[in-house]
Structure 1
Amino acid sequence: MPSIDESKCVLVTGATAGIGRALALSIAGLPSNPKVVAAGRRMDRLGELAQSNLDTVQIDLDTDIDSLKKFVEDLVHKYPDLDTVVLCAGVQHEFDFKGEVNLAKLTSEININYTSIVAFISFIMPHFLKLAAQGQPCFIVPVTSGLGIVPAPSVLNYAASKAALRSFSTSLRVQLRETNVHILEIIPPLVESELHDAYDTTEKLSRFWMPLDEYTKITLEGLRRGDPYISAGASEDAFRRFEVEKYELAEAFQRHRETW
């Protein structure tokens, strides 16, 4: 199974915090010594990553399609060896539908967590298919969530966005099964993160979450093995209980459809 050890150039979005930052630094330290491009919104934190010998680019994924397309085109032009994208960028909001719902915030969350990622993949795909046809394995690594399997009602829109990305990733893996472009889905459980700071839940959640260093080690090992699904803790348990047969069923459906 091809693995990230074969990657020459890796883009990590959401690299200025949490899982994204930890993975960007860890991938840069692999023995294969890939070039790592850290992407994020916050220039001060990108500057810190540049001090660690990472290339950096600024991007806000909550943007329009044309701007995102230009970003990808410029990225491929600057990094023609780019063969891996780790799509970590995401936001999480709480909504209570018994009261007034901020629909602008809800729409933004869907755009960042799902729509922009799908658009990014569509824009990078011709480049990846070209590299793959030349014999270079390429990797699309969406970061979903255990909440995309078993939702938490307080963050129902976040859970829905991750469930959508999980479904999309499963189907995309089937579509690409005869190419050299591989989908390695990261499915985190509750992990140490500042994602929860805006709603003052960090202190409570810190009693239950997996430490970031421990989670990063497990995830990097999965990426190096080329595991199609990479999870840990409660998310791994939920995946085994509810999701493990979905890929096989989706592949069977595709084979049946091709006989129509």
Structure 2
Amino acid sequence: MSRTVRGAHIVITGANRGMGRLFAERAAAEGAAVLDLWGRDADALAAVAAELARPGVELRTTTVDLAAPDALDDAAATLLAEGRVPDVLVNNAGVITSNAYFWHLAPDDATRTVQVNTLAPMRLVSRLLPAMIEDRGRPKRLLNVASAAGIVPNPRMAVYAASKAALLSWSDTLRLELAQAGHEHVRVTTFSPSYVDTGMFAGTRPVLLTPVLDPGRAVGQAWRAMLAGRAHVITPPTVHVARAGRGLLPSRAWDAVARTFGVHRSMDSFTGRAD
């Protein structure tokens, strides 16, 4: 496990705040040799890099809008042109634009959500994965941050939930494809947390028996699972129960359970980040 990080080249998207920043802190603390921090805010990225600076860690920042395919392609091409093949890629960046019902959501907002949450990780992996497969010098890891919203549908987040459901399905299928093709040195981990207390989902109402997750603990769970090459981490445990209930119960019965537990009203008072 420690060999995966110590001396490794690690790329993290959305590294300027929230869980992305915490992933970067873990990587630096555990001995990464090269830490590539990607995000939209150049000043915030520079501040994170300055805080993490220490002997033995090369810190690089890349300002890129993941909703812009050409910009993403250019950033990935620059990385590979410099001979820098990532050992770990953390697809952490994500957006939610509002808590509007779907028919009130601006089409451009829906498009951006899917671009950043789903298509950007797919595109970035498509650019970097062939080189990661080719380089067998050390274990390779992909960590894709999905969401419990992709498992349990929730009103007022239709596009976000759809984007994360697609990410989850793609990520887990990619894991199977790599194993089937014999590329065992590349492992894929999908992380599906419920609400995490990073500010992104500020104002959400509590769901019965489902606490808002501490970001440090959430990142720790995802990080350890990634190092171990585990397939999928779902947290907290009540999401497992909801997943099973939704699969076993008729739709109307499950809807009644979800309403009782407060799932369907949890986004009513959302005031979190719009991007």
TMscore range, shorter length? 0.7 to 0.9
TM-score by length of 2: 0.76
Q: Give 1:79 deviation, angstroms.
A: 5.3
Is the Cα contact below 8 Å between 1:12 and 1:86 reproduced in 2?
yes
Aligned to 1:55: 60
Distance 1:15 1:150, change over 3 A: same
Alignment of structure 1 residues 127-206 onto 2, 5 Å: 127-132=131-136, 135-177=137-179, 178-179=182-183, 180-197=185-202, 201=203, 204=205
Aligned to 1:209: 212
> 2:223 corresponds to which letter in structure 1?
L
> 1:225 corresponds to which letter in structure 2?
A
TM-score by length of 1: 0.80
Q: Give 1:105 deviation, angstroms.
A: 0.6
> 2:201 corresponds to which letter in structure 1?
H
Secondary structure of the corresponding residue to residue 197 of structure 2: coil
Q: Give 1:3 deviation, angstroms.
A: 7.4
> 2:35 corresponds to which letter in structure 1?
V
Is the Cα contact below 8 Å between 2:151 and 2:243 reproduced in 1?
no
Q: Deviations over 1:181-201 (max 9, x none)?
A: 21111222211112135xxx2
Aligned to 1:33: 32
Q: Deviations over 1:114-155 (max 9, x none)?
A: 1111111111122112113xx432212111111111121111
Distance 1:119 1:235, change over 3 A: farther
Is the Cα contact below 8 Å between 1:2 and 1:137 reproduced in 2?
no
> 2:178 corresponds to which letter in structure 1?
L
> 1:42 corresponds to which letter in structure 2?
D
Q: Deviations over 1:7-58 (max 9, x none)?
A: 710000011111111111112111x434221111111211111211232211
Gaps spanning 5+ residues in structure 1: where? Answer: 244-260
Q: Is 1:122 matched up with 2:121?
A: no
**Identical amino acids, percent of aligned pairs:** 25
Alignment: residue pair count: 235
Aligned to 1:233: 236
- 2:75 corresponds, among 59, 71, 78, to 71
Q: Is 1:107 matched up with 2:111?
A: yes
Distance 1:221 1:104, change over 3 A: same
Is the Cα contact below 8 Å between 1:95 and 1:157 reproduced in 2?
no
Secondary structure of the corresponding residue to residue 119 of structure 1: helix
